[in-house]
Amino acid sequence: MKSNLATLKKALFSLRLGVFIVMFMWTIDKFVNPGHAQKVFEKFYLIEGMSTGITYGIAIIQLILVMAFLLGIKKKLSYGAILAMHAASTFSSYAIYLDPWGPRNLLFFAAWPMLAAIFSLFILREDDTLFTVKI
């Protein structure tokens, strides 16, 4: 069967857009509700006492990376950073995967297909050219 590059590009763009939506909302949450982000950093990354200023700083860096990811700018860097951030998030939640039927824990399993999508985007980044910006 012959591969259709146009179909592949549409599929990769849909993955990129879907991942962007999730990552963008997590980024905006840091601006809108920095206390929530601080609790997440305490629980999952064991970083206590993070100030609101640090939270906003992380959010600004994350926003830049997420926008670069959406636009396909510096793909090795932006896709790689998104992959690393989501991998850290997924793996830091390991205890929750051991108790999948705990309160709201089942939702955490959605991180695995998203991680697979980001990995796919990373390894296919040269083919992901639909609606990208070349700088």
Residue 30's pLDDT is 98
CA–CA dist 63, 65 (Å, integer): 5
Tokens of 21: 């939506």
Residue 2's pLDDT is 62
- The residue length of the chain stands at 135
Instruction: Give the chain's mean pLDDT.
Output: 96
Say yes or no to pLDDT of 1 above 80: no
Q: Judge whether 110 and 89 are in contact, CB under 8 Å.
A: no
pLDDT: which is higher, 79 or 101: 79
Q: What is the pTM of this model?
A: 0.93
Nearest to 57 by CA among 26, 30, 33: 30
Say yes or no to pLDDT of 125 above 90: yes
Give the confidence band of 74 by pLDDT, cuts at 50, 70, 90.
very high
